[in-house]
Amino acid sequence: MASLTTVEQSPVKCKANTEKSSNGTDESKSNADAGTKEIKKGFPFHDLAKWQKQYRNKSSRTESLVALIYLLGSVASFCLLIFFTDFYLIPLFPTTTTMTDYIVFNFYLLNVFVFCMVHFIYHFIKNISLQQQLEHWQRFSYLANINLLLSSQITILYYLFYDYVFFFKIFTLLMIFIGLVAYFFILTDKLISSKRFNKTVFFISVSVVCCSLPLLTAIITFDGLENLKDRIKLKAITWELVALVTASVIYVTRFPESLFRRNKKEEGWNHSEYLFHLVISGTAFYHFFILIQSYILMHSSLNQPELINFKS
């Protein structure tokens, strides 16, 4: 028969085993707590992706507001593109409105629509964190900025030199060349990875080159700024430049949160990102108002262009 034996453990050994098991439990708990803390803390900043590092300070609320701005701008510019020239422009001066006027306004409105739509898609992608497509749409947004800048310059050049076709052609070709150079820099990775200040300097430099040469030529050709008032609205253009400079300052300095809300995480309508895009989109439509005023000045003057008329 098999004998039944019992093994007795000493109290010291039992206590040691109990302490080991309790130590093991404590270690597992501490490891679990450490893991929980790591999960709560998230990843270190240097381990984040490039797109996450660049947009770490922006909340989804701000991006939603910015996307909404450009969505409304897209709808407004599309409606103007479809209805404005036919229902307002031509009836305003039916006998003197030319096909060139028709093309100029539609050309600018088309670029405004593309500008707003590209920025809407870009900020929508940023809001839902589709990082795979973000860098491509960032390039598209920069290209849309250049297109809007060039279209605004070319359209105002037409009303500035409507009776000097040679100057209009020369400066239009110059704008196209400047645009191609800007495209080259945008399509490289240098501008994408640049700081805010460098990006602002780039776009301001392109703007200064596009504006300064035609303006100096017009001042010399028409004997001063006073004679330019019969062609374009200089005061309105000055306010447009002030708005662009203000937007650049907001973009670089991140005002107002850089001064008043350093320790606050909530963002909304008074965030620099929202204010910057609000001013930029508003300036695009303000330039459209300047074109309307220049169109009225040209067709109200005695020196009307002898181009293709809708009615003879």
Look at the domain 59-300 and name its fold. Answer: Rhopdopsin 7-helix transmembrane proteins (1.20.1070)
The label of the residue with tokens 């405004």 reads 112
What CA–CA distances, in Å, run from 96 to 109, 149, 310? 21, 28, 7
φ, ψ for residue 95, nearest 5 deg: -90, -20
Q: What is the pLDDT of residue 198?
A: 84
φ, ψ for residue 281, nearest 5 deg: -65, -40
- Confidence (pTM): 0.74
**Nearest C-alpha neighbor of 123 from the set 184, 182, 188, 74:** 74
Compute the mean pLDDT over every residue in the chain, rounded to the nearest whole number. Answer: 77
Both tokens of residue 207?
């703007």
Average of per-residue pLDDT across 250-274: 66
Give me the residue spans of the domains in the chain: 59-300
- Structural contact between residues 115 and 144, judged by C-beta atoms closer than 8 angstroms: yes
Q: Which residues are annotated as a binding site?
A: 123, 277
**Cβ-based neighbour number of residue 23 at 10 Å:** 10
Percent of the chain with pLDDT over 70: 70
Assess whether pLDDT exceeds 90 at residue 283: yes
φ, ψ for residue 120, nearest 5 deg: -60, -45
- Structural contact between residues 186 and 146, judged by C-beta atoms closer than 8 angstroms: yes
Beta bridge partners of residue 98, listed in sequence order: 309
pLDDT per residue as tens digits for the range 10-52: 444 444 454 444 454 454 445 444 444 443 444 555 555 554 5
- Taking the C-alpha atoms of residue 310 and residue 96, their distance in angstroms, rounded to an integer, is 7
Average of per-residue pLDDT across 164-177: 92
Q: What is the pLDDT of residue 53?
A: 52
Q: What is the pLDDT of residue 185?
A: 86
The label of the residue with tokens 């310059």 reads 153
- Taking the C-alpha atoms of residue 260 and residue 137, their distance in angstroms, rounded to an integer, is 31
Alpha helices in 6-163 (DSSP H): 11-41, 50-54, 60-84, 90-92, 99-128, 131-160
Q: Which residues are annotated as a binding site for Zn(2+)?
A: 123, 277
- At residue 143's C-alpha, the angle toward residues 255 and 204, to 5°, is 45
Highest mean pLDDT: which range of 66-80, 187-201, 271-285: 66-80
Assess whether pLDDT exceeds 50 at residue 136: yes
Q: What is the pLDDT of residue 260?
A: 62
Pick 257 or 218 by higher pLDDT. 218
Minimum mean pLDDT among 102-116, 159-173, 250-264: which range?
A: 250-264
Beta bridge partners of residue 309, listed in sequence order: 98
